[in-house]
Structure 1
Amino acid sequence: MKPADRLKTVAIGAASAAKTAGQQAGEQPTTTVVDMQTVERIAANWPMMSQAAVKEIVGKYGAPNEAMESRLIWYNNGPWKRTICYRDEVPHHFPNPHSDVVECFIDYRVPPEKFSELAEFDGSVIVERTKGEVSARCDMESANFLAINLMYKIVTGEMNAEKAREVYTETAAAYVVSRSAPLAEGFQFELLQEQTNDPDETTIAGAMLRQTAGKVKDMVS
């Protein structure tokens, strides 16, 4: 990037940050609905697991709001902020071998000190500190409910990662054989309507002064 463009980009970034201050971060909902012929055409050659996920989500929430060759996206579908069905599978062996193809998002602020424990619990629970989002990615929506519910229990200190993995495994097995599995059937905590994004803090002012002074010295030396 050219020097002038670097400064211009910083200025644009500062203006953008000021404009969006106080707003919830992340993708904003698309209200249009994709026609089902387009959905069927796109998903026709997807892997079997991805097609099954599309069938489940369409059956429950209707046609998506956005569609592209690699993914279908729903906004504000039921309790979720956003749901994405992917063409491309991500192999995952916990608690059983499967492919992650459907990702569900909520607005939720996770304290940074809990990030490592959540990663230890399940690598397909994804925390976005800046956006203030948490998502779970698995092969079906019920598994995402289960993962998010256990995420909440870890963050609130009710469980550690090891215990959450045990509960996940037992609950997933119970759900598969059609036994009672409330953790996999919906949220077991209240989703608060509050701002969850964390823009962090500005630290560059002093560094800019020091580097500018250094630049002047470079020019006159």
Structure 2
Amino acid sequence: MTGLFTEGWPSSATAAAHATTEKYGPPDEASPSTLIWHDRAPWKRIIVSRAMVPHRFPHTHVDVIKHVVDHPVPMDRIGDLAHFSGSVVYDRTRGELSSHCEDEEGNVLSLNLAHDVVVNGLDPQSARRRSHHAIETRNSQNRDPYLDALMFTPGRGADPDEATIDEHLRDRLRQALGGVDR
């Protein structure tokens, strides 16, 4: 069934779409460039994209699949996430932590390590070393369990921030724009 959605896609994106469909069933949304699954535990969202993003950490590959969880990240730890991996992204307003990689186990590994960075104080370089070692030994007896399942329970972390424009000023701005609510 995935073949109908992924016709003409690069093989790496097709493989990710097929593996995700095998594990989670058909996508909830499909377009010529993207497949999306919603609320497939433990994931809030899974997105497979035909677009390939070159990535060289911890080895050369292309990122085609993103896994999203709800996870709070303290403001003082956001920079550490960026130092750990450019594929780990925090959306503060939504409270979503995501990782994009070539496959699900790469994202599971990255999200487990991101959790350790933001919650347990793991330094980014140690997280990078563990990621490297886990991928290097993924097909051995020394397989890192961080590849197999999330080691934390996703939790709400949305931060809608604080209004800096009071109600009176907002109403005046709305009037000045002709009553358009933007």
> What is the aligned partner in structure 2 of residue 199 from structure 1?
160
> What is the aligned partner in structure 2 of residue 27 from structure 1?
none
Q: CA RMSD, aligned part only?
A: 2.0
Query: For residues 139 and 60 of structure 2, what CA distance do their matches in structure 1 show?
Result: 14
Query: For residues 145 and 155 of structure 1, what CA distance do their matches in structure 2 show?
Result: 15
Shift of 1:155: 0.5
Residue 203 of structure 1 aligns with an amino acid whose one-letter code is: T
1:81-160 aligned within 5 A: 81-160=44-123
Residue 208 of structure 1 aligns with an amino acid whose one-letter code is: L
Report the structure, 1 or 2, having the larger helix content.
Answer: 1
Query: For residues 93 and 158 of structure 1, what CA distance do their matches in structure 2 show?
Result: 25
> What is the aligned partner in structure 1 of residue 30 from structure 2?
67
Give unmatched runs, 5+ long, in structure 1. 1-35, 216-221
1:45-87 Cα distance to aligned partner (Å, 9 max, x none)? 1001101101111111111111000100001123111000000
Pick 1 or 2: higher relative contact order, CA cutoff 8 A, min separation 6: 2
Query: For residues 167 and 68 of structure 2, what CA distance do their matches in structure 1 show?
Result: 37
Q: In structure 2, the residue corresponding to 1:198 is in which secondary structure?
A: coil
Query: For residues 200 and 106 of structure 1, what CA distance do their matches in structure 2 show?
Result: 20
Q: 2:169 aligns with which of 189, 208, 212?
A: 208
Query: For residues 206 and 45 of structure 1, what CA distance do their matches in structure 2 show?
Result: 51
Query: For residues 13 and 141 of structure 2, what CA distance do their matches in structure 1 show?
Result: 22
Shift of 1:207: 9.8
Say how many residue pairs are matched: 173
Question: TM-score scaled by structure 2?
Answer: 0.88
Check whether the contact 1:104–1:141 (CA below 8 A) recurs between aligned residues. Answer: yes
Q: Look at both structures and tell me which one has the larger radius of gyration over its CA atoms.
A: 1
Report the structure, 1 or 2, having the larger strand content.
Answer: 2
Query: For residues 50 and 178 of structure 1, what CA distance do their matches in structure 2 show?
Result: 28
Q: Runs in 1 of length 4+ with deviation above 4 angstroms? A: none
Of all paired residues, the percent bearing the same amino acid is 35
Shift of 1:178: 6.0
Q: In structure 1, the residue corresponding to 2:137 is in which secondary structure?
A: helix
**Alpha-carbon spacing, 1:98–1:178, altered in 2? closer, same or farther (3 Å):** farther
Residue 23 of structure 2 aligns with an amino acid whose one-letter code is: K
